[in-house]
Amino acid sequence: MSDVPPDDEYGPDVRINPTLIAAASMIGGILLGRWRPQPLPGDLPGATIGTALVCVAGALAVWAFLQYQRVDTAIRPDQPNSTLITSGPYRYSRNPQYIVLALMQMTVAFWLDNLWIVVLTPVTMVVITRYAIAREERYLEWRFGQQYRDYRRRVRRWI
C-alpha cells in the first residue's frame, strides 16, 4: 500500500470528488440528448419514478451521513477516517453513498426522459469504482487492517 501517505494526511487520496464525476456524466447525457434525443422506452411516468428515486436516495444519504456524525469521522473521500463504519446502511453495502449517486443519476434521467443518462450510469459507476472506491479500499485496508478485511468479506461492495 505504498500509495497511501504514511502520515495519513490525505486519507484515501481521492482528489476529484466522485460527485463531480457523476455530475459530468449527467451533463454528458444531457448534451447527448440535445444532439440526438433518446427518450426512455415505453410510456413511463418519469416524474413519479424520479421523485420516488430521489426520496430513496435522500433517505439513504441521510442514513449514511448520520453514521459519520455518530462516530465523528470524515465523510469526504480526500480526508482520513478515524473509524471504520459498519453500521446503518454500511451493514448492507460498503458504498451506500455511491449508490446514492447512481440513484440520483437515474432520477435525473427519469425527470428529463433521457435514455443517454441511463446508459451512462453504469459507466459512471465503473469510473467511480476504479478511481475512488479502489483507492478507498486500499486506504481502509492499510488503515484498519484485519478489521477491514473481515468487513469486506461480510459486506458486498454494492448491494
d(CA 30, CA 24): 10
Domains of the chain: which residue ranges?
Answer: 18-35+43-154
d(CA 103, CA 87): 21
The model's pTM: 0.90
Is residue 138 within 8 A of residue 3, CB to CB? The reply is: yes
Q: What pLDDT is stored for residue 136 in this prediction?
A: 93
Q: What pLDDT is stored for residue 19 in this prediction?
A: 96
Helices 96-112 & 115-128 angle (0-180, nearest 10): 160
Q: What pLDDT is stored for residue 3 in this prediction?
A: 55
Q: What pLDDT is stored for residue 6 in this prediction?
A: 44
d(CA 132, CA 18): 7
d(CA 127, CA 100): 15
Q: What pLDDT is stored for residue 4 in this prediction?
A: 46
Reading the chain (159 residues) residue by residue, the pLDDT tens digits are 455 444 566 678 888 999 999 999 999 999 999 999 999 998 889 999 999 999 999 999 999 999 999 998 888 888 888 899 999 999 999 999 999 999 999 999 999 999 999 999 999 999 999 999 999 999 999 999 999 999 999 999 998
Is residue 96 within 8 A of residue 85, CB to CB? The reply is: no
d(CA 90, CA 67): 9
Is residue 128 within 8 A of residue 101, CB to CB? The reply is: yes
